[in-house]
Chains A and B, each alone.
Chain A
Amino acid sequence: MATAAKGVVLLDFWVSPFGQRCRIALAEKGVEYEYKEENLWDKSPLLLKANPVHKKIPVLIHEGNPICESLVIVQYIDEVWSNNPLLPSDPYERAQARFWADFVDKKIYECGTRLWKLKGEAQEEARKDMIEILKLLEGELGDKKYFGGETFGFVDVAFVPFSAWFYSYETCGNFSVEKECPKLVAWAKRCMERESVSKSLHDPHKVHEFVGHLKKMYGVE
């Protein structure tokens, strides 16, 4: 059921896991929108106007109103388009979902960056941290189909874009996500069976190629 929502624009960057969260949420709700690819090294006047505070993607522009910060955007999408709810209805369950999405936000990206940017002891520490973070998330997933239980939910949306980075983390950190966290890998595969996810995420090798470009830019290796 596609809803031709008037004036929904997403300012985004192809490989951004934060942008992908928004793409997945919009797709889960069947919302049609205009995707605008931003060049992060030459930001458009529209982006700078829509997000003057952070000047970052993603930005969702709905009926002319800009919303920034990916988890704020996903919650907004969930509230405006109430079909296929991403957050549970029970306040305690919602709090748990917000906690884990916040955990992903605070931990994964920063640790992942340390993994590809640093060397030696610092990289080793990043590797240990990443494994610990992934194990904690796997613990929360347990034997559930999704973090949201039987239904694909808020934490799944928040975390699944990072699954496309697992290959890069493994390669930079010299470990195996499958070995350390087999349930997470199985969960990621299940998520990829959803069109909203498979159409939003990029091939892990492409992501790793992108990390290669970043490394060159930062003079790493």
Chain B
Amino acid sequence: MAEEVKLLGSWGSPFSRRVELALRLKGISYDYIEEDLSNKSPLLLKYNPIHKKVPVFLHGGKPVVESLVILEYIEETWEGDHAILPKDPYERAMARFWSTFVDEKCIPAIWMSCWTEGDMQQNFMIQSKENLSILEGELKGKKFFGGDAIGMVDIAAFFIAHWAGVLQEVAGISLINEEKHPILFKWIEEFMSSSIVMECLPAREGLLAYFQAKKEAIRATKAPVY
């Protein structure tokens, strides 16, 4: 299957980095196109007219969007090389459940903890810590959520392993630390030490600068950024 593989992404987006991680784990070569999200390209708007977001995955010119949908497509199209979903239907259902939990609960709560203040921030912080404890429970003594190898849930939780740390620093808050979430902390260390993950990371300093600038911009305009 020598069809062209392209990815429209953004260097700072945890969602497009997920797709890159999956592609690299499976050893699939792809052309990467960097999108300027403040000035979206005609290509992006053409291939994702509904959500107008990255990542957009193009296989033989046909678009697939929404990062978890893309991960499932990659898994089904390139079978055999580093499976990111289990074969057993129940285990697959669990992987889908926890990936959705990361997306719908963990990430928004962490994100909002870092951009809000006062009581609102306190509530989001409580939610974040609770969600992270729940997620941590799913590791159950495994090296990764996927077992011995990185799987879909680990890929989804990439945000937690990398972006969350940067955001906490910018906001001056602590959500994940060795004391509160020891098992999750260990998972982060394990995950981030993978050479393939390291290839896919946006540089910490770059992310830090980006989010710090964003915070200053909010302070200046006093506008909420959700």
Partner-B contacts on A (CB < 8 A): 53, 62, 65, 67-69, 72-73, 75-76, 79-80, 91-92, 94-96, 98-99, 102-103, 136
Chain B residues with CB under 8 Å of A68's CB are 97
Instruction: Give a binary string over B53-64; 1 marks a CB under 8 Å from any A CB, 0 the rest.
Output: 000000100101
Question: Which chain B residue shows the least CB distance to A63?
Answer: B90
**Is B65's beta carbon under 8 Å from chain A?**
yes
Pair B96/A75 contact, Cβ less than 8 Å: yes
Pair B89/A79 contact, Cβ less than 8 Å: yes
Within 8 A of A (CB), among B71-94: 72-73, 76-77, 89-90, 92-93
Pair B72/A94 contact, Cβ less than 8 Å: yes
Partner-A contacts on B (CB < 8 A): 50, 59, 62, 64-66, 68-70, 72-73, 76-77, 89-90, 92-93, 96-97, 100-101, 134
New A-B contacts (7) at CB < 8 Å, excluding given A91-B76, A92-B73: A72-B96, A75-B92, A76-B92, A92-B62, A95-B70, A98-B66, A102-B69
Pair B66/A99 contact, Cβ less than 8 Å: yes
Chain B binding surface, main DSSP class: helix
Contact of B66 among A65, A80, A102 (CB under 8 A): A102
Question: Which chain B residue shows the least CB distance to A90?
Answer: B76
Chain B residues with CB under 8 Å of A92's CB are 59, 62, 64, 73
Pair B93/A75 contact, Cβ less than 8 Å: yes
Chain B residues with CB under 8 Å of A62's CB are 90
Q: List 21 A-B contacts (CB under 8 A).
A: A53-B101, A53-B134, A69-B97, A72-B93, A72-B96, A72-B100, A73-B93, A75-B96, A76-B92, A80-B89, A91-B73, A91-B76, A91-B77, A92-B64, A94-B72, A94-B73, A94-B76, A95-B72, A95-B73, A102-B68, A103-B50
Pick from B64, B65, B77, B89 the residue with the most CB of A within 10 Å: B89
A147 to B46, CA, bound (A): 22
Question: Which chain B residue shows the least CB distance to A98?
Answer: B69
A80 to B89, CA, bound (A): 7
Contact of B92 among A69, A79, A103 (CB under 8 A): A79
